Amino acid sequence: MDLAEIRHTPRPPGRREAGNVALAAKIVALQAEIAQLEARAAGHRADFERERERTDRLMVELQQAIAETIAAKEATARLEGFLRTDGRTPGSIDSHGLVARRPGHLAADLVAGDRKAFREQSMSSHSQLAGEIVRQK
């Protein structure tokens, strides 16, 4: 093979440089678009975290409301059970008027006991929920 027979014509350097410039411009444009998308993603993440915290607060409130409802239903059932099993006829009065005062005292004792039980239950459920939230994060 004779190297003199090979005709090599080099490409003009201007074309290659123009291609590099166009490629560099595309890279810059894509980097700018990536930066915009990252900023939007950060905003969406902040919205997500804010909504997660709001949901957690609402769940605590819901659990407290459920506990209050359960305590009220239990107190009502106890009062109704007491009134049904009292054994006295309505309107009967003993010599000191204790029968008339007894349901009021019983109701006050039940409400006080329910409040104490509710506080203990709320603290327990709140600490459990906080533990679950910490484990999820």
pLDDT digits (tens, 9 = 90+) for 53-66: 999 999 999 999 99
Q: Give rounded-to-5 percent helix, strand, coil for the chain.
A: 85, 0, 15
Q: What is the pLDDT of residue 65?
A: 93
Asked if pLDDT for residue 43 goes beyond 90, the answer is yes
Which of these, 83, 80, 62, 71, lies nearest to 113 by C-alpha position? 71
Report residue 70's pLDDT band, with 50, 70 and 90 as the boundaries: very high
Whole-model pTM?
A: 0.42
Cβ proximity of 132 and 59 under 8 Å: no
DSSP string, 89-115: PTT---TTSHHHHHHHHHHHHHHHHHH
Rounded-to-integer distance, Cα 17 and Cα 21, Å: 6
